[in-house]
Amino acid sequence: MDLKRLRYFCVIVEQGSISKASRILNISQPPLSKRLQELEEEVGTPLVSRNGSGITTTEAGMVLYLRACDILRNVEEARSEAIFVANNKKEILRIGISYLFQRHFSPLISEFYQKLEGVKIETIVADSSTLESMLDKKRIDIGLFQQPKMASSYECISMQPVKAVAVVSKKLLPAPPKDHILLSELGQLPLILIRRINGEGTFEYINNQLLRLGVRPNIIISANEPRMVCELIASGIAAASMMPACEVPPQALEYCHIVDIYPTPNIFFPTFVKLAAAPHQPELLNILLHYQDQNI
């Protein structure tokens, strides 16, 4: 897949118009439209819907847009890292952060930045299974993601579990529940659940919990990041989800209810992870432990 086409596509989505994108990219509209058409042909599905006032992104287009943003960011990070290594300007700490805890770990990244003098921090946000693979291949130095199931090759420091909340479209429930929603009631609603790209995780745990309650969940969509779940509900899909409370954006209250779940399921376990064979990093661990003590 051509990186230039992906970049053009991202600008078109962000501008909501091919004409506006053409001005920013300094490309005339016909060749820009042609690049978009070529990308749609390569993917095999329409990525945008064209109308008189501009374009709107299809569901497939939104998925590709989010992925393309990650790809282009990773390419830029790789370029930047190579330049810094070549110039030997400063040490680089590559940190992989799960989509599941992107907001949750932002203050910790700030702590690392403030206290690790002379260190350039590179962050990569991805699915937990992707980050495990990157860690195994030494493409990142540490990971901040969901506690690994197979942890024998890792050194893990578990952090406080993140509260799970129900995110319920106002199309399903015009008025919010009084205090909470029962887990069994939540399971009977059309669900959009977060799911890892590879391996088992919270998706399977939630599914099994509901089955044990005698509820066969109606899972209509799975997505690998909280942002996508919120985007889908905001687009008008009448559905509910179970998400880490820290990852629900404030604007979500415009189109859904944020509700406590009873009984509260403990399913989101943020964890500091590094390869067991990797060099020990006492300064990094001291910052992490101090951060944990402050936030208990």
The alpha carbon torsion through 136, 140, 93, 148 (nearest 10 deg) reads: -70
At residue 161 the predicted structure's pLDDT band, cuts being 50, 70 and 90, is very high
Kindly state whether residues 172 and 155 are assigned to the same domain: no
- Same domain, residue pair 156 and 187: no
- Residue at which a domain ends, from 66, 82, 102: 66
Q: What is the mean pLDDT of the segment spanning 49-60?
A: 83
Q: Tens of pLDDT along 138-148? A: 899 999 999 88
Whole domain around residue 135: which residue ranges? Answer: 90-160+269-294
User: Could you tell me if residue 195 is inside a domain?
Assistant: yes
Q: Residues 181, 231: one domain? A: yes
Q: What percent of the chain has pLDDT over 90?
A: 48
Do 150 and 224 reside in the same domain of the chain? no
Q: How confident is the model over 96-116, as pLDDT tens digits?
A: 999 999 999 999 999 999 998
Residues 175 and 215 grouped into a single domain: yes
The predicted model scores a pTM of 0.67
CATH number of 127's domain: 3.40.190.10
Contact 251, 241 (CB under 8 A): no
Q: How many structural domains does the chain have?
A: 3
Does some domain include residue 123?
Answer: yes
Same domain, 134 and 180: no
Domain containing residue 40: CATH number: 1.10.10.10
My answer on whether 253 and 192 are in the same domain is yes
**223 and 185, same structural domain?**
yes
In single-letter form, the type of residue at position 46 comes to P
Helices 3-15 and 59-87: crossing angle, nearest 10°? Answer: 120
- Asked if pLDDT for residue 89 goes beyond 60, the answer is no
pLDDT digits (tens, 9 = 90+) for 235-289: 999 999 999 999 999 999 999 999 999 998 889 999 999 987 777 778 888 899 8
Provide the pLDDT for residue 87.
59
Mean pLDDT of 136-158: 86
For residues 72 and 6, the answer to whether their CB atoms sit within 8 Å is yes
Q: Angle 59-87/226-234 helices, nearest 10 degrees?
A: 150
